[in-house]
């Protein structure tokens, strides 16, 4: 019982189940920052119940972007992508929670905003594939790779959100 004589939620013991600590790398791209959408995007992940582990506004370098988009460097659109991503600061984030990689991608919407359903971030806030305001890792493996590129270990915090027992069964 707590100080108020109320029993802790029964879910308490199960919230540390394996898989609840999955992480993803989410980034608000330069157009999202310029358009003042950082708060909206953070808010959606917070509201869903995911946990913020790291957050910073930064100007990415070409070297970092070449590593981040290493699978796309041979694409015809890569020079435009590079110019776009170098055009201003980005907001880099790490979010944690059960299934956050796949759910994060669903929350972002399709790569091409015109194929993104209303209700998704891209489906609500943008139009063109070359200005699609946000990035989200596409696999657990890539998420860990990207988190390692964009954040140092001491920039990722370990903390216990008070709402966790109310989010997980």
Question: Which residues are catalytic, by number?
Answer: 135
Based on CB atoms, which residue is closest to ligand ADP, 109 or 168?
Answer: 109
The rounded distance, in Å, linking the Cα atoms of 90 and 137 is: 15
Beta strand 23-28 with 51-58: parallel, antiparallel or unpaired? unpaired
16 CB-side CA count, 13 A: 4
Minimal distance, residue 132 CB to ligand ADP, in Å: 5
Based on CB atoms, which residue is closest to ligand ADP, 51 or 132?
Answer: 132
The rounded distance, in Å, linking the Cα atoms of 55 and 94 is: 7
Residues that bind ligand ADP (CB under 6 A): 72, 77, 80-81, 111, 129-130, 132, 135, 138
Minimal distance, residue 123 CB to ligand ADP, in Å: 13
Would you tell me how many other CB atoms lie within 10 Å of the CB of residue 28? 25
Based on CB atoms, which residue is closest to ligand ADP, 77 or 166?
Answer: 77
- Residues belonging to the binding site are 29, 77, 105, 111, 122, 132
């Amino acid at each position: 019982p707590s100080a108020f004589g109320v029993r802790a939620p029964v879910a308490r013991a199960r919230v540390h189940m394996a898989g609840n600590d999955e992480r993803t790398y989410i980034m608000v791209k330069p157009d999202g920052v310029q358009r003042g959408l950082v708060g909206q995007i953070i808010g959606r992940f917070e509201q869903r119940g995911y946990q913020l582990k790291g957050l910073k506004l930064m100007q990415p370098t070409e070297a970092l972007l070449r590593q981040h988009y290493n699978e796309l460097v041979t694409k015809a659109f890569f020079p435009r992508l590079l110019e776009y991503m170098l055009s201003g600061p980005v907001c880099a984030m790490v979010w944690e929670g059960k299934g956050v990689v796949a759910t994060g991608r669903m929350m972002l919407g399709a790569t091409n905003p015109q194929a993104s359903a209303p209700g998704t971030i891209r489906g609500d806030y943008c139009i063109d594939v070359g200005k699609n305001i946000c990035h989200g890792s596409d696999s657990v493996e890539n998420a860990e790779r990207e988190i390692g590129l964009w954040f140092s270990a001491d920039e990722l915090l370990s903390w216990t959100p008070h709402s966790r027992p109310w989010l997980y069964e």
